């Protein structure tokens, strides 16, 4: 029998669609997934018509919020940036539409047992995955600082929410439209003082910078790595993530199953996404 | 449902390389319901697999080059098979090798491992993976003989061919004469990644091709047990393969889309005469 932590394949219903800058924010009734959620997990979504099924690869999205109870039952939230076929299709969903979803998938962020000082670094839409994490860290009496980055204002997610979620917030944008002009790698050195654990979501470049800064400052890092995924459920080995194992041996693991969250010092960054 | 001396609870199997280690399907309560689980292809030595991107979507299909990533036989025997054995999952271990000697080793060692229901011989990967070239029917037959050589007689060997109708009857006949208990038709069709690397095409796009192979082989060799695979996503798709002459089916790509597909199709077919 599957356990209360195992993922589910469900039919969800879109309840609310909101536009937030360049993104669409979807609230979806997805019984079972909300209750099983842990920060850092994601859902795999089927896109397009299902009778017959013509889009066979699934699309992965961070769960950016959950409400286990509400008038529509348990709900999850996603933030979608329309880019290719699948993300554009998902961003175009309307209230009342149905979706096949699988989740929560992947290894979540490891939470500290002690109240430690945490830095949460998020880039673009991926910052959304950090807000439920911040909540759980504060519930454990951890200190939460945030660093948010994006190319410009429309791609900056959660700058207002961050003021509630964190004790201190820094914002960098590529064009300087909000916060300081710059990027995450450049802003990191100023926010690392006294930090014991760094959690990060975003591009490979940002995550690599976080892993390096953490190592330099003797901190732990937990990074949530996005790689192209065909299934998201660990079945196909289509999402190779080059790592160094606990035993020091280099190997290739499945980003969707052994990740997406992984210790930053375990990733072989130079070999990531090379093709 | 009988295959050699083995009885399967129902005619729905998972397809090699699309069911993970088995545990991922079990997380969805979707392993115990299938007639048999087929592992990804296992080689004697570990293989790191191809560089990304490994899977891209194409209309009604997936083009993929996983490069047979697998932990090698030793790790498979210590880290994956015992879990399947403890669960009493009907397990066919898919094998691939670069020499006849490797195939014989794989057969001998798997044959005495508890938890192995049978062996599936992957005869369809193109030569660019460095595997033994089985495009000639007599070479395919030699592989089946090699796997059979030191295998306990009761253990079924099923051999899996690419869905290329051109010489399919000839090849099926050769491997049946070499001792295969059943033939799986087919595999991914030869294709190309957008970046030019050799790859396989799977999913509904190849279903008519696989159906043709089942039809042609069944017409010529009506007594040979056939397992149909290629683009099955619904119970009706499965029925079409059974109607064309297959006695069982395998579900691959559809599992990547919905991990409960095989279990659902098995439940729908249950109770129907086959
Ligand atoms: C764990 C994880 C969480 C993610 N969370 C979000 C999120 O919260 N919001 C958001 O907007 N996007 C997110 N993404 C990226 C999103 O999954 C891709 O942008 C999307 O799959 C691209 O699909 P497409 O059809 O729009 O693009 P296409 O380029 O048409 O995609 C075609 C295929 O490539 C795969 N693919 C291509 N690029 C990516 C990529 N960067 N990551 C994963 N798969 C890819 C798709 O799965 C699909 O199979 C996440 C990715 C992962 C792995
Ligand atoms: C991602 C992926 C990996 C596969 N790996 C293997 C493999 O290791 N060995 C093998 O014999 N076939 C492999 N196959 C082929 C499938 O087992 C199946 O025969 C083929 O995809 C056709 O069926 P389908 O359309 O239902 O997927 C793979 C297919 C896919 C999509
Ligand atoms: S995407 Fe299929 S195993 Fe990770």
Domains recognised in chain B with CATH numbers: 2-43+68-188+202-269 (3.20.20.70)
Cα-flanking dihedrals φ and ψ of residue B53, to 5°? Answer: -75, 145
Q: Say if CB A123 and CB A201 are below 8 A apart.
A: yes
Under an 8 A CB cutoff, do B51 and A46 touch? no
Query: Helix (H, G, I), strand (E, B), or coil: what is residue B252?
Result: coil
Using a CB-CB cut-off of 8 Å, the residues of chain B touching A102 are: 258-259
Pure H helices in B45-188: 72-75, 81-86, 100-111, 137-149, 168-177
Assess whether the C-beta atom of A228 lies below 6 angstroms from ligand 1.
yes
**Do A162 and A268 belong to one domain?**
yes
Where residue A131 falls (left for φ over 0; alpha for ψ -120 to 50; beta otherwise) is alpha
pLDDT tens for each residue of B194-227: 999 999 999 999 999 999 999 999 999 999 999 9
Domain boundary among A84, A105, A126: A105
Stretches where chain A sits below pLDDT 50 are 275
Cβ of B87: how many Cβ atoms within 10 Å? Answer: 15
**Do A56 and A186 belong to one domain?**
no
Partner residue opposite B53 with nearest CB, options A8, A53, A275: A275
Report the number of distinct structural domains present in chain A.
Answer: 2
Top residue of B14, B25, B27, B199 to mutate, by most chain A CBs within 10 Å, is: B27
pLDDT tens for each residue of A219-269: 999 999 999 999 999 999 999 999 999 899 999 999 999 999 999 999 999
Tokens representing residue A71 in the block: 């008038």
Question: Which of B178, B230, B164, B165 shows the shortest CA–CA distance to B203?
Answer: B230
Q: Residue A96: give its domain's CATH number.
A: 2.40.30.10
Under an 8 A CB cutoff, do A57 and B62 touch? yes
**Do A205 and A169 belong to one domain?**
yes
User: Which of the four pLDDT bands, split at 50, 70 and 90, describes residue B1?
Assistant: confident
Q: Report pLDDT for B2.
A: 80
Cα-flanking dihedrals φ and ψ of residue B132, to 5°? Answer: -60, 130
Put the strands of the sheet holding B118-122 in their side by side order: B12-14, B248-251, B226-229, B182-185, B157-161, B118-122, B91-95, B37-38
Q: Report pLDDT for A71.
A: 81
Using a CB-CB cut-off of 8 Å, the residues of chain A touching B53 are: 228, 275
Residues listed for chain B = 274
**Do A75 and A150 belong to one domain?**
no
Q: Report pLDDT for B126.
A: 63
Structural domain range at position A35: 8-105
**Do A128 and A88 belong to one domain?**
no
Q: Which residues have a Cβ under 8 Å from the Cβ of B78 and sit 6 or more positions away?
A: none
- Report the alpha-carbon distance of residue A211 to residue A199 in Å, rounded: 9
**Residue whose structure tokens are 């069982």:** B248
Under an 8 A CB cutoff, do A275 and B203 touch? no
- A50 interface with B at CB cutoff 8 Å: no
Q: Report pLDDT for A275.
A: 41
Q: Is residue A3 part of a domain?
A: no
Q: Is residue A182 part of a domain?
A: yes
Partner residue opposite A56 with nearest CB, options B24, B48, B61: B61
Using a CB-CB cut-off of 8 Å, the residues of chain B touching A8 are: 28
pLDDT tens for each residue of B27-65: 999 999 999 999 999 999 999 999 999 999 999 999 999
pLDDT tens for each residue of A45-69: 999 988 889 999 999 999 999 988 7
Q: Residue A8 half-sphere exposure, CB side, CA atoms within 13 Å?
A: 14
Q: Across all residues in chain B, what is the average pLDDT?
A: 95
Domain boundary among A51, A72, A105: A105
pLDDT tens for each residue of B151-185: 998 899 999 999 988 999 999 999 999 999 999 99
Using a CB-CB cut-off of 8 Å, the residues of chain A touching B257 are: 46, 53, 56-58, 231
Cα–Cα distances in angstroms (integers) from residue A177 to residues A73, A174, A191, B70, in the given order: 39, 8, 20, 48
Cα–Cα distances in angstroms (integers) from residue A273 to residues A226, A258, B112, B196, B260, in the given order: 10, 16, 40, 17, 30
- Report the alpha-carbon distance of residue B79 to residue B71 in Å, rounded: 9
Q: Report pLDDT for A1.
A: 56
Q: Is the ipTM of this complex over 0.90?
A: yes
Question: Which of B214, B188, B182 shows the shortest CA–CA distance to B201?
Answer: B188
Assess whether the C-beta atom of B64 lies below 6 angstroms from ligand 2.
yes
**Do A100 and A179 belong to one domain?**
no
Q: Report pLDDT for B5.
A: 82
Q: Is residue A1 part of a domain?
A: no
pLDDT at B274 over 70: no
Q: Which residues have a Cβ under 8 Å from the Cβ of B2 and sit 6 or more positions away?
A: B8
CA-based nearest residue in chain B for residue A2:
B27
Q: Is residue A2 part of a domain?
A: no
Partner residue opposite B52 with nearest CB, options A9, A57, A275: A275
Q: Say if CB B171 and CB B180 are below 8 A apart.
A: no
Partner residue opposite B55 with nearest CB, options A7, A54, A57: A57
Q: How far is the CA of A57 from the centre of ligand 3 (A)?
A: 10
Q: Is residue A255 part of a domain?
A: yes
- Report the alpha-carbon distance of residue B271 to residue B212 in Å, rounded: 27
- Report, in this order, helix, strand and coil percent for chain A, each rounded to 5: 25, 35, 40
**Do A139 and A250 belong to one domain?**
yes
**Do A147 and A100 belong to one domain?**
no
pTM attached to this predicted model: 0.96
Task: Report the relative pairing of strands B37-38 and B91-95 from DSSP bridges.
Answer: parallel
- Report the alpha-carbon distance of residue B89 to residue B115 in Å, rounded: 8
Q: Residue A122: give its domain's CATH number.
A: 3.40.50.80
**Do A66 and A40 belong to one domain?**
yes
Question: Which of A83, A98, A86 shows the shortest CA–CA distance to A51?
Answer: A98
Under an 8 A CB cutoff, do A239 and B54 touch? yes
């Amino acid at each position: 029998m599957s356990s209360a932590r195992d993922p589910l394949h469900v039919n969800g219903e879109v309840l609310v669609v909101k536009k937030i800058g360049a993104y669409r924010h979807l609230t979806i009734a997805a019984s079972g997934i909300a209750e099983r959620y842990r920060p850092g997990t994601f859902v795999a979504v089927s896109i397009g018509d299902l009778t017959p099924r013509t889009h066979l690869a699934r699309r992965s999205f961070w769960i950016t919020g959950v409400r286990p109870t509400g008038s529509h039952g348990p709900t999850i939230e996603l933030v979608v940036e329309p880019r290719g076929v699948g993300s554009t299709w998902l961003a175009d969903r309307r209230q009342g539409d149905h979706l096949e979803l699988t989740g929560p998938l992947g290894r979540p962020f490891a939470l500290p047992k002690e109240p430690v000082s945490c830095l949460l670094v998020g880039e673009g839409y991926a910052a959304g995955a950090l807000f439920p994490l911040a909540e759980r860290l504060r519930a454990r009496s951890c200190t939460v600082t945030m660093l948010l980055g994006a190319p410009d204002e429309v791609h900056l997610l959660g700058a207002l929410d961050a003021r509630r979620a964190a004790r201190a917030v820094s914002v960098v944008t590529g064009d300087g439209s909000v916060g300081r002009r710059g990027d995450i790698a450049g802003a990191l050195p100023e926010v690392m003082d006294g930090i014991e654990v760094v959690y990060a979501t975003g591009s490979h470049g940002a995550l690599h910078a976080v892993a390096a800064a953490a190592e330099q400052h003797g901190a732990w890092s937990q990074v949530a790595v996005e790689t192209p995924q065909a299934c998201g459920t660990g079945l196909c080995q289509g999402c190779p993530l080059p790592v160094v194992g606990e035993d020091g041996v280099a190997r290739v693991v499945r980003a969707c199953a052994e990740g997406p969250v992984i210790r930053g010092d375990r990733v072989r960054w130079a070999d990531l996404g090379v093709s | 449902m009988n295959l050699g001396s083995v009885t399967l609870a129902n005619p729905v199997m998972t397809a090699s390389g699309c069911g993970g280690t088995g545990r991922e399907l079990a997380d969805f309560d979707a392993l115990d319901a299938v007639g048999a689980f087929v592992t990804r292809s296992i080689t004697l030595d570990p293989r790191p697999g191809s560089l990304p991107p490994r899977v891209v979507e194409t209309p009604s299909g997936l083009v993929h080059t996983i490069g047979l990533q697998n932990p090698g036989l030793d790790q498979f025997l210590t880290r994956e098979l015992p879990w399947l054995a403890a669960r009493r999952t009907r397990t066919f271990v898919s094998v691939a090798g670069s020499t006849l000697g490797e195939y014989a080793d794989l057969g001998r060692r798997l044959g005495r491992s508890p938890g192995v229901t049978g062996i599936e011989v992957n005869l369809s990967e193109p030569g660019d993976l460095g595997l033994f070239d089985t495009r000639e029917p007599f070479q395919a037959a030699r592989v089946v003989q090699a796997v059979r050589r030191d295998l306990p007689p009761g253990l079924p060997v099923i051999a899996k061919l690419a869905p290329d109708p051109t010489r399919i009857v000839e090849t099926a006949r050769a491997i049946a004469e070499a001792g295969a208990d059943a033939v799986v038709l087919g595999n991914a069709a030869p294709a190309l990644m957008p970046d030019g690397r050799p790859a396989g095409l799977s999913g509904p796009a190849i279903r008519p091709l696989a159906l043709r192979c089942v039809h042609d082989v069944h017409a010529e060799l009506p007594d040979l047990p056939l397992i149909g695979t290629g683009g099955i996503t619904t119970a009706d798709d499965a029925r079409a393969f059974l109607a064309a002459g297959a006695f069982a089916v395998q579900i691959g790509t559809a599992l990547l889309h919905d991990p409960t597909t095989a279990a659902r199709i098995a439940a729908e077919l249950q109770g129907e005469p086959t």
